[in-house]
Amino acid sequence: MSTVKSLEDLFVHHLKDIYYAEKQIVKALPKMAKKADSDKLRKAFEDHLKETEGQVKRLEQVFELFGVKAAGETCPAIEGIIKEGEEGIKDAKDPDVRDAGMIADAQAVEHYEISRYGTLIAWAKQLGKKEAASLLQQTLDQEYKADQLLSKLAEGQLNKEAA
């Protein structure tokens, strides 16, 4: 971590962290879509990939509002979550089990993002950066929706298994 002296430094540090994370997610989602057996799950991954590409652009706007050059800083958390997910995909031979595992892994990603964006929004408001806060809020809303859709797909899958 570079020197953090103020709340603004802390904000920028976490902005770089989530920027790195979103770019890793852009790389991971097409692989997950390819492995998905359910059409609905594949579409959910493909749709969220498009949203995530927009989220990267939104973060670049936030960097600009802070007068900082957009740059990533390695996020060990997202690397760990994605790595754990890739191990799961490799292990599961049954397509329904693999889908269930991928939904769980994707929700871990969404929950990490939700926690980071929640904090960034609170700090942006404290720093008086309303426009940045509203840009980050748009992304947070997408992350919540993605998480809810994954929950619905998981429930649908369980109902199918039970039938």
Residues at the contact surface with Fe ion, assessed by CB under 5 A: 17, 22, 52, 55, 75, 77, 113, 143
Nearest residue to Zn ion by CB is: 1
Three-state DSSP state, 92:
coil
What single-letter amino acid sits at 103?
I
| Cα 143 from Cα 138, distance rounded (Å) | 9
| Cα 68 from Cα 78, distance rounded (Å) | 23
Q: How far is the CB of 70 from Zn ion (least distance, A)?
A: 16
Nearer to Zn ion among residue 41 and residue 75 (C-beta): 75
Q: With binding defined as CB under 5 A, does residue 3 bind Zn ion? A: no
99 binds, among Zn ion, Fe ion, none (CB under 5 to 8 A by kind): none
Q: With binding defined as CB under 5 A, does residue 76 bind Zn ion? A: no
| Cα 118 from Cα 105, distance rounded (Å) | 20
Q: How far is the CB of 14 from Zn ion (least distance, A)?
A: 9
Q: With binding defined as CB under 5 A, does residue 5 bind Zn ion? A: no
Q: How far is the CB of 117 from Fe ion (least distance, A)?
A: 8
Q: How far is the CB of 89 from Fe ion (least distance, A)?
A: 18
Nearer to Fe ion among residue 99 and residue 143 (C-beta): 143
The piece of 1-9, 31-39, 43-51, 80-88 that touches Zn ion (CB under 5 A) is: 1-9
Q: With binding defined as CB under 5 A, does residue 1 bind Zn ion? A: yes
| Cα 46 from Cα 64, distance rounded (Å) | 28
Question: Judging by beta carbons within 10 Å of its beta carbon (0-12, 13-18, 19+), is residue 34 exposed, middle or buried?
Answer: exposed
Q: With binding defined as CB under 5 A, does residue 162 bind Zn ion? A: no
Which residue, 45, 48, 147, is CA-closest to 89? 45
Q: Are 47 and 29 in contact (CB under 8 A)?
A: no
Q: Which residues bind Zn ion (CB under 5 A)?
A: 1
